[in-house]
Structure 1
Amino acid sequence: MFRLRPARSAGLVLGTALAALAAAVPAGAHPSSGAVLALPGVTPRAETATLYDDEAGGNANADDPAIWRNAAQPDRSLVIATAKEGGLRVYDLDARQVQAIPAPPAAGPDDAPGRFNNVDLVHGLRLPSGRADVSVTTDRGHDRLRIHRIAPGRAGGPLVDVTDPAAPPVFSSNQDEINDQQTAYGLATWTDAASGRSYALVSRRNRTTVALLELTPTATGTVTYRKVRTLDLPSAFRLPDGTSWTPCGEPDELPQIEGMVVDPANGMLYAGQEDVGIWRMRADLTAAPKLIDRVREYGVPGVYDEETEECSAGTDPGFGGTRLAADVEGLTLLTEPDGDGYILASSQGDDTFAAYDRELEDANEYEGGFRVTATADGAIDGSEECDGAAVLNAPLGTKYPHGLLVVQDGHDTPVDGDREATNFAFVDLGKVLDGIDD
């Protein structure tokens, strides 16, 4: 059995069985030793229809979800998710699609098309018509943010595009740079409790840059943004033996960041540098970042092969972590009313999820992990190579009274020939909070 259960006085704590599983892995264990965390599993309650990344399927590829709670009617809460060139998908709590929003077309015949990568929510954004909840999405294809007001019960679907048509590129200075696709990629939203201002933190594809953008409503009711500052994470690292290490990748590509989440209680941003590990930094990007955990592959030399477009790994020097296998992907925050909870991270390389304590005093201590596995009858498969995840620890009516965890599945089954198939799995958070029997 594994158990994440309410403590009598301190929110969630890890059950002794899960703690023992984590402790059983030696501190020096690395991929080359064959050591793998034997983590317990939770099963989904529902899954969305398969998205296919080809012309027949609309070039749709599931990536990142966000969960919007309908406070008036929790049973009618929504999951908003990106489908890359397929745009946005909106699902109800039965994982049925209720709206599909296409990505914007290419600016010209030789330009990159719209491609929605990551999505997050801002609650109570001040608009001329009053406060509203909005979704914010990175459009990697056009290097812009797309903002949609959430209007539950609207006849045409709950999302209404309120993006300012004059919203600027996030990182690029012209269309040629946009077409190079070193563009807006990962995303986390944040509302500063002190000022009430809302922001989007956006990472740059194939670079180590994170930008802080303030969301600013216009007089016409649309939303734009302005860049406040940027921060560059390292691309090369000094190892304990005195050597320097750079993660292997294609020429001119730096170790990028995608999965990000902000803890609103302390204004800390957690960012997953895919081939490196998880960083913690101030969400206003005014202080030096701290690497709180490393992937197992950290420090492993590699040589890029242009013919195969793969990296050949050298000998593992033993400087990596034990809980994450590259890539580090979707990060999400599981909160408790009393301030306890976890940062959850997708360990894409071994199909697991890692949980870290929110408390800074505990230095974001690793608390254990789990897998999302197929149901016993095989009717719903689990999650493999998960790109994005979202969790909400709040009652969502009769379907998910203990909350909901939504994870991307990078290999939906059954497969359909060579078509790339992905979707999203819905997990009752009660299975994570209360535990399951093996």
Structure 2
Amino acid sequence: MTSAVLATALGAFCAAVPAQADEDPRAALPAVTPEAETPAVFDDEEGGNADADDPAIWRDPADPERSLVVATAKEGGLRVYDLEARQVQSIPAPPPPGPGDAPGRFNNVDIVEDVRLGEEVADLAVVSDRGRDRLRVYRIDPRAPEGPLVDVTATGVPAIFTDSQQEINEEMTAYGLTTWTDRRTDRSYALVSRSGRTRITLLELTSTPEGTVDYREVRSLRLPSTFRLPDGSFWSPCADPGELPQVEGMVVDPANGMLYAAQETVGVWRVRADLTSGPKLVDRVREFGVPATYDAETDECVPGEDPGFGGRHLAADVEGLTLLTESDGDGYVLASSQGDSTFVLYDRELEDRNEHEGGFRVTAASPTLDGTQETDGVAVLNAALGDSYPDGLLVVHDGDETPSEPAREATNLKFVDLGELMDELDD
């Protein structure tokens, strides 16, 4: 860790936060219910080792009713849904390059608008392929006969973090992802985190004469993995042997070019999206500072006594991040608090602070349309999407889809009317 990053990290913890009360903090949160849900996917051989994870929303400017939700399913590849939550396309992840090698594993996805590809301007879905340590890029075209997503990844795109297939098979590869277009230059980028490490890398997306998309590394930043607590002691989050606290959820605020990054067992960071500034911790998980010991038999971390240095709003892991913008320029940074199955809102400050503004839950609409548990990815779009969602759409991952088939782990996505959520937040 560099001295500059360490100094930033240490400065974030100059004051202790009181220990948490015993009452369930979720009880006071407003609740919204889903309007629809996607078909369940199953993480087993019969289901194609599919595991729903991260969604992104694409708005069709010509016909908002034909807008799409694109979502990763890990080894199950990519799924595309219409606004009725019906699957319209399934894209398989790439096969392993050789016997015993890791197959493709699509982890996170985001949308980039108005990118020039040859003589055309297109919208793109950009995916982090954790299994192959690369980006995959798809042009979005509802009129394409093989579409609506068409692979435009350049031939021979490089691995992002690894130097060999052996390293790729060890799985410290591309993990979380968000995209960003710099308004000053109109250049588009992907910010990608590394599994099991604290590194975030900025990649510039570049078009080729063939109308495909390549990328090149611009720079990287490493977040802290060790923190000085207010009592003067040092703490590192417990993890599997050899691993560091990783980042998955990320989002960039286009108004000021700030990246928000969710370090799962630490909290939410804020840093310039071009990675030229030191990171600042916006909020900590409740478990921050709690000593823990890795138990090899159970493959779990056994926590010790809570010294009371954690935050109040996030329960580890903090996962998906998205930006809820409002017509007046205000809005929220929205975080998925996976540990207690809630969602946390922070003010979309354009200066140097993001105050906590509340939270909410997604609960069951009926016995057959459940709420969300252990949410990973989340996406929101505050724009009219035809008659289906005239006030916008919130899409959230459900890590425990119920009712499910016996002995099969099922996941899916819930679609929530954004107007309902905004009404609840305004009350």
Question: How does the TM-score come out when normalised to structure 2?
Answer: 0.94
Counterpart code for 1:101: I
Structure 2 residue corresponding to 1:326, chosen from 316, 326, 329: 316
Instruction: Give the CA deviation at 1:435.
Output: 2.2
Match of 1:390 in 2: 379
In 2, Cα distance between the equivalents of 1:64 and 1:202?
14
What do the CA deviations read for 1:143-193 (whole angstroms, capped 9, x no partner)? Answer: 000000001122222000000121000100111111111000000100000
Counterpart code for 2:222: D
In 1, Cα distance between the equivalents of 2:426 and 2:194?
42
In 2, Cα distance between the equivalents of 1:176 and 1:216?
28
1:129 matched to 2:119? yes
Counterpart code for 1:252: G
Equivalent residue pairs, number? 411
1:424 matched to 2:413? yes
Distance 1:177-1:398 versus aligned 2 partners, 3 A rule: same
In 2, Cα distance between the equivalents of 1:338 and 1:171?
40
Match of 1:7 in 2: none
Counterpart code for 2:358: G
Match of 2:7 in 1: none
Match of 1:120 in 2: 110
Q: Is the 8 A contact 1:140 1:181 kept in 2?
A: yes
1:403 matched to 2:403? no
CA RMSD of aligned residues (A): 1.5
Instruction: Give the CA deviation at 1:414.
Output: 0.7
Matches within 5 A, 1:84-99: 84-99=74-89
Q: Is the 8 A contact 1:29 1:35 kept in 2?
A: no
1:100 matched to 2:121? no
Match of 2:402 in 1: 413
% same residue? 67
In 1, Cα distance between the equivalents of 2:233 and 2:352?
30
Counterpart code for 2:382: N
Counterpart code for 1:232: R
Match of 1:24 in 2: none
What do the CA deviations read for 1:362-387 (whole angstroms, capped 9, x no partner)? Answer: 71111000000001x32211110001
Matches within 5 A, 1:48-59: 48-59=38-49
In 2, Cα distance between the equivalents of 1:138 and 1:48?
22
In 2, Cα distance between the equivalents of 1:35 and 1:390?
26
Which stretches of structure 1, 4 residues or more, deviate above 4 A after TM superposition? none
In 1, Cα distance between the equivalents of 2:290 and 2:237?
8
1:289 matched to 2:259? no
In 1, Cα distance between the equivalents of 2:227 and 2:420?
39
Q: Is the 8 A contact 2:368 2:403 kept in 1?
A: no
In 1, Cα distance between the equivalents of 2:352 and 2:337?
21
1:378 matched to 2:367? yes
Q: Is the 8 A contact 2:173 2:195 kept in 1?
A: yes
1:337 matched to 2:330? no
Match of 1:110 in 2: 100
Structure 2 residue corresponding to 1:157, chosen from 129, 134, 147: 147
1:435 matched to 2:424? yes
Instruction: Give the CA deviation at 1:36.
Output: 2.1
* Partner SS state of residue 177, structure 1: helix
* Partner SS state of residue 56, structure 1: coil
In 2, Cα distance between the equivalents of 1:404 and 1:62?
18
Match of 1:170 in 2: 160
Q: Is the 8 A contact 2:245 2:266 kept in 1?
A: yes
Distance 1:343-1:437 versus aligned 2 partners, 3 A rule: closer
In 1, Cα distance between the equivalents of 2:120 and 2:426?
48
In 2, Cα distance between the equivalents of 1:147 and 1:128?
15
Q: Is the 8 A contact 1:356 1:365 kept in 2?
A: yes
Unaligned runs of 5+ in 2: 1-16
Distance 1:222-1:437 versus aligned 2 partners, 3 A rule: closer
Instruction: Give the CA deviation at 1:35.
Output: 4.8
Unaligned runs of 5+ in 1: 1-26
What do the CA deviations read for 1:294-343 (whole angstroms, capped 9, x no partner)? Answer: 00000000000000000110000000000000000000000123210000
What do the CA deviations read for 1:191-241 (whole angstroms, capped 9, x no partner)? Answer: 000001000000000000000000011111110100000000000000000
Counterpart code for 2:112: V
Instruction: Give the CA deviation at 1:436.
Output: 8.3
Counterpart code for 2:407: D
Matches within 5 A, 1:189-208: 189-208=179-198
Instruction: Give the CA deviation at 1:30.
Output: 2.5
Structure 2 residue corresponding to 1:234, chosen from 224, 247, 250: 224
Match of 2:169 in 1: 179
In 2, Cα distance between the equivalents of 1:89 and 1:145?
16
* Partner SS state of residue 231, structure 2: coil
Counterpart code for 1:189: T
In 2, Cα distance between the equivalents of 1:30 and 1:256?
25
Counterpart code for 1:99: Q
Match of 1:75 in 2: 65
Question: How does the TM-score come out when normalised to structure 1?
Answer: 0.92
